[in-house]
Structure 1
Amino acid sequence: MKNITFSADENLIEAARRQAIAEHTTLNEQFRLWLKNYVRREHRAAEAMRVIRELQGSITTGGRKFSRDEMNER
């Protein structure tokens, strides 16, 4: 694992440490989780866009144009 050094407000760091202790975890573990989710979010967005592009050519309304009211019916 690679070490990273960050700088942040001292009071914020202390508050985060107290919260991590209360949650039975560490700031390092919370950062690792955040980093993993951050990367995953980017991947999921790219995957969703790929699926949208793929479906754009195959989904149709059968040629019918829907009115605004029809589109918003629940």
Structure 2
Amino acid sequence: MLKNITLSADEKLIRKARKKAKQEYTTLNSQFRQWLENYTSVDTSSNDYQNLMEHLSYAKPIKHYSRGEMNER
């Protein structure tokens, strides 16, 4: 179920955002929903990263590399 909310922003900013959304064949409402989805999933991404690092913790370097060696390309 979708729920309506009210937001406040500068009128010029809203116009610019609507114009940009129109150029991208979408709506400001749709863009906000996408932003809200991304905003609320940040913790999940952080947890995913931590889980990956724990899973890869077995990998250890054979020797200690100097700063110069680590920055070689």
| TM-score with structure 1 setting the length | 0.74
Summarize deviations over 1:15-70 as a string: whole Å, max 9, x none.
Answer: 212222232221111111112222334322221122113322x11123x2222222
Q: Which residue of 2 aligns with 1:50?
A: 51
Q: Which residue of 2 aligns with 1:65?
A: 64
Q: Which residue of 1 aligns with 2:33?
A: 32
Root-mean-square deviation (CA, aligned residues, Å) is 1.8
Query: For structure 1, which runs of at least 5 residues remain unmatched after alignment?
Result: none
Query: For structure 2, which runs of at least 5 residues remain unmatched after alignment?
Result: none
Over the matched positions of the two proteins, sequence identity in percent amounts to 46
Which shows bigger deviation, 27-36 or 15-24? 15-24
**Matched pairs, number:** 72
1:1-12 equivalences in 2 (<5 Å): 1-12=2-13
Distance in 1 (alpha carbons) for counterparts of 2:23 and 2:50: 39
Tell me which stretches of 4 or more aligned residues in structure 1 moved more than 3 Å: none
